[in-house]
A and B are shown apart, each in its own frame.
Chain A
């Protein structure tokens, strides 16, 4: 059976902390392998020699007075690295850091002192590296946030300017419309003003929104409908205009085409469904369908002429077909009563609000 003392000594030789002991006469009586590795002092060079010869800092007056109490059976004494960084003679530098150790001196039951030395270098280095990395990431994140905010400001500002310019163009066209001498020219210019205004309105929604890129189609079409009705029927709004539009976000690219289609169909209803004496009823529905989206505009007017009489080469219908085609959709004139126009197009990757 192995001698317990030699077993324990063997264990202490191999543990991952530095261990040494001094006897009652302050002579080194144990010196383990880890300590040899750290200090470069081999056990045979240290054992039997006075502590002060091998590790002189330990016997400086302020340290010796504390160790004296431990030698007399007093409580353990801590030597931290910050307050005693030069206790050990060799201080290698590891990855640019001075080796950091923490030493506790405890009284041995049979006299003498046990010193246990922990190495904090790796922990310290890891903490330092983690802090550096954290600081770097925070800087990058702040720079990205700043760039994002700047980009949003530029986009908003640009949308604002586009909207203002388009409103100016709309005003100029409206002035020309008022000055037109014949009804055909007046109608032509008024329709053009509505078309330009629909684009301006989208830019207004884009710059006045909370910074999200995609506009809500319900807000856009409702606003657009009010503007067209006001333009055609005056401020008193002599039209019964109702909407049932799902709150869906579409990209600005798609929304502007839906807006142009909407302008053509609603303008047409306002032109033909009412008269100076009779306010037309116009109902708009925009909804999601299994195959994509559907815009349905109905009025209570006399209805569409028979297909053979419809002029497919009129500017309004050409634009309607053209924008619907760009969305990959179709335009249908449904049977009455009244005029009923349905435009369907596939989902261009939209998301619900």
Chain B
């Protein structure tokens, strides 16, 4: 299915529900108020992925990954330019920036939890819509280049949902990309289920 044929409205609604849940969890946990939104949604074929990404051109990326298998298989990743990931953690924890700007293990753990909340909310919503049963891998934090994160999964995936995730905290606004790698059959099932859901 090409982007031109795809009806974005029902999927945008589902993504909005997932992002809303994630914001709710973050705000019950944190002292600072986090506004979370998904200003854009795209579907991409593997070879189109790079040009759809917000962080394209960033030298170093930070990502939280979680794989799933069961009624359907795939992987979800929340990816930031590493500098932005560091800023996000600093804003959320009101911490002072680290001298060299790197994420150490503690701050990587924090980013992993933020990513875990966002990914769980979106995947949880999709699973509910599809009425599916899945097993999940433990969330993993990694740093590197885009090909380090998506090198193997992008070969297996046929469709990638690309959701721009925007975190707004006080005066800061930090964008990342939430990627969901799916097979074409899973994507088609999801598309049908989402349309049914939207039609009530």
Q: List 14 A-B contacts (CB under 8 A).
A: A61-B28, A62-B29, A74-B120, A74-B124, A75-B119, A76-B116, A78-B139, A82-B95, A83-B29, A83-B92, A83-B110, A102-B109, A106-B136, A120-B106
A81 CB within 8 Å of chain B:
yes
Residues of B near A90 (CB, < 8 A) are none
Kindly name the residue among B93, B109, B123 whose own CB sees the greatest number of chain A CB atoms within 10 A. Answer: B109
Chain B contact residues, CB within 8 Å of chain A: 25, 28-30, 66, 68, 89, 92-93, 95, 98-100, 104-107, 109-110, 112-113, 116-117, 119-120, 123-124, 127, 133-134, 136-139
Residue in B100, B106, B113, B134 whose beta carbon sits within 8 Å of that of A100 in the complex: B106
Assess the B106–A124 pair: CB atoms within 8 A. yes
Residues of A within 8 A of B119 (CB): 75
Of residues 77 through 115 on chain A, the ones whose CB sits less than 8 Å from some CB of chain B are: 77-83, 100, 102, 104, 106-107
The reply to whether B105 and A82 form a contact with Cβ atoms under 8 Å apart is: no
Inter-subunit contact B28/A127 (CB<8 Å): no
Contact A82 B120 (CB under 8 A): no
Residue numbers in B under 8 Å from A137 (CB-CB): none
Bound-complex Cα distance A81 to B106 (A): 7
Partner of B25, one of A62, A73, A76, A135: A62
Are A131 and B100 touching (Cβ within 8 A)? yes
> Which of chain B's residues have a CB closer than 8 A to the CB of A131?
98-100
Known A77-B120, A82-B93, A104-B138; judge A65-B25 contact (CB<8 A).
yes
Chain A residues within 8 Å of chain B by Cβ, number: 28
- Is chain B's binding surface mostly helix, strand, loop or mixed? helix
Q: How far is the CA of A343 from the CA of B194 in the complex (A)?
A: 98
Set of chain A residues within 8 Å of B105, measured between Cβ atoms: 100, 102, 120, 123-124, 127
A66 in contact (CB, < 8 A): yes
B136, A120: Cβ atoms closer than 8 Å: no
Q: Is A69 located at the chain interface by the 8 A CB criterion?
A: yes
Kindly list the 8 A-B residue pairs having the minimum CB-CB distance in the complex, ordered from nearest: A80-B109, A80-B113, A78-B116, A62-B28, A78-B113, A75-B136, A82-B110, A102-B109
A104 to chain B: which residues have CB within 8 Å?
138-139
- Give the interface of A toward B (CB within 8 A): 61-62, 65-66, 69, 73-83, 100, 102, 104, 106-107, 116, 120, 123-124, 127, 131, 135
CB contacts (< 8 Å) of B134 on chain A: these are 75
Chain A residues within an 8 Å CB radius of B104:
123-124, 127
Q: Which residue of B lies closest to A116 (CB)?
A: B138
B residues within 8 A CB of A61?
28
A186 to chain B, nearest CB (A): 71
**Of all chain B residues, which has the CB nearest A124?**
B106
Closest to B115 in A: A78
Q: Which residues of A contact B98 (CB under 8 A)?
A: 131
Min Cβ gap A31→B in Å is 20
Residue on B with the closest CB to A69?
B124
CA of A58 to CA of B7, assembled, Å: 42
CA distance A82 to B29 in the complex (A): 12
- Counting chain A CB atoms within 10 Å of each CB, the highest count among B29, B105, B110, B127 belongs to B105
Q: For residue B98, which residue of chain A has the nearest CB?
A: A131
Rounded to whole Å, the gap between the CB of A60 and the closest CB of chain B is: 10
A77→B105 CA distance, assembly (Å) = 18
* Chain B residue contacts of A127, Cβ below 8 A: 104-105
- Name the one of A75, A79, A123, A124 contacting B120, with C-beta atoms under 8 angstroms: A75
